[in-house]
Amino acid sequence: MNDKPEKLIDKKGVRLDGRKADELRPVKVQVGVLPNADGSAYIEHGKNKILVGVFGPREVHPKHLSMSDRMVIKCRYHMAPFSVQERKSPAPSRREVELSKVIRESLEPSVFVDLYPRTGIDVFIEVLQADGGTRCAAITAASLAIADAGIPLRDLVVACAAGKIDDTVVLDLYDAEDKLGMADVPVAYMPNLNAVTLLQMDGVLAPEEFETALNMAVEGCKKIYLVQKEALRTKYMTTVVKEEAEE
């Protein structure tokens, strides 16, 4: 585990986990997995396993946090102690507090916050297993959970990262590539409105490389969007299929 491999990507353009440069990890999504939450979703993005539960809209507690002209979104990103190889302390770390904020801000533009003033929604993100790119997978699942709670949305938000390993721009970095690679660019995107809601960069990229990475991440988002949309449809399809069978 600790020895650094010589190359992260070989001459044929095959990465350590056998993927090509512009290939995503397999994504599986399920909606409505938690009956106690108003909305929920579960995502498996490669080896990442993330569970999201959404409550609301409901009254905000404590009351002074509510806003008289809009809905507030509260978001908690949390990694389970067993989500990484070395036990992680369950107390929120600096990184988790930052990611909670970043995820909240990437979801906020998609929600019609001015429709229900003085209310709030709570988004609870629980990372059960982490393998790089958890913020992106979390955003994809959280947006679905919000839609599942019946909260009006401008669009679903999908997220995907791109980065640079061994001087090659690649899509959807996993844990080893993220740690040993040269740069990571997570992007959250609203596919129908063609709008980016999150754009971060960690590492060093030339302007041209950054542009390729961004475009690559957006293409990745579009692919994940199809899976995301299908997951939402599957939950609500059952009732509609019945109708077609009887007509």
Partner 1 sequence: MPTFFEKKQLVTPGELLAEGDYQPGENTYMEENRIYAQRIGLVDAENKRVNVVALRAFYVPKVGDIVIGTVIEVGFNGWTVDIKAPYTAMLRASDVLSRPFKPQNDELSQVLNAGDLIVAKIASYDRAHDPQLTVGEPGLGKITRGQIMRVTPTKVPRVIGRKGSMISNIKQETGCQIILGVNGVILVTGKNTADEELAMMAIRKIEEESHTSGLTDRITQLLKEEKSKMEENKT
Residues 46 and 12: their CA atoms lie apart, in Å, by 22
- Position 149 contacts partner 1 (CB under 8 A): yes
Binding characters for partner 1, 190-219, by CB under 8 A (x = yes): xxxx--------------------------
Q: How far is the CB of 60 from partner 1 (least distance, A)?
A: 10
Q: Which is nearer to partner 1, 86 or 246 (CB)?
A: 246
Among 119, 129, 168, 212, binds partner 1 (CB under 8 A): 119
Binding characters for partner 1, 75-114, by CB under 8 A (x = yes): -----------------------------------x-x--
Size of the site for partner 1 (CB under 8 A): 38
Q: How far is the CB of 158 from partner 1 (least distance, A)?
A: 10
Among 155, 172, 177, 209, binds partner 1 (CB under 8 A): 155
Q: Which is nearer to partner 1, 127 or 149 (CB)?
A: 149
DSSP string, the chain: --SPPS-SB-TTSBBTTS-BTT-PPPEEEEE---TTSSEEEEEEETTEEEEEEEEEEEE-SSGGG-BTTB-EEEEEEEE-TTSSSSPPPSSPPHHHHHHHHHHHHHHGGGB-GGGSTTEEEEEEEEEEE--S-HHHHHHHHHHHHHHHTT--BSS--EEEEEEEETTEEEES--HHHHHHSSEEEEEEEETTTTEEEEE--EE---HHHHHHHHHHHHHHHHHHHHHHHHHHHHHHHHHHHHHHHH-
- Position 239 contacts partner 1 (CB under 8 A): yes
Q: How far is the CB of 220 from partner 1 (least distance, A)?
A: 18
Q: Catalog residues that contact partner 1 under the rule CB under 8 A.
A: 38-39, 56-59, 68, 110, 112, 116-119, 147-156, 190-193, 229, 232-233, 236-237, 239-240, 242-243, 246-247
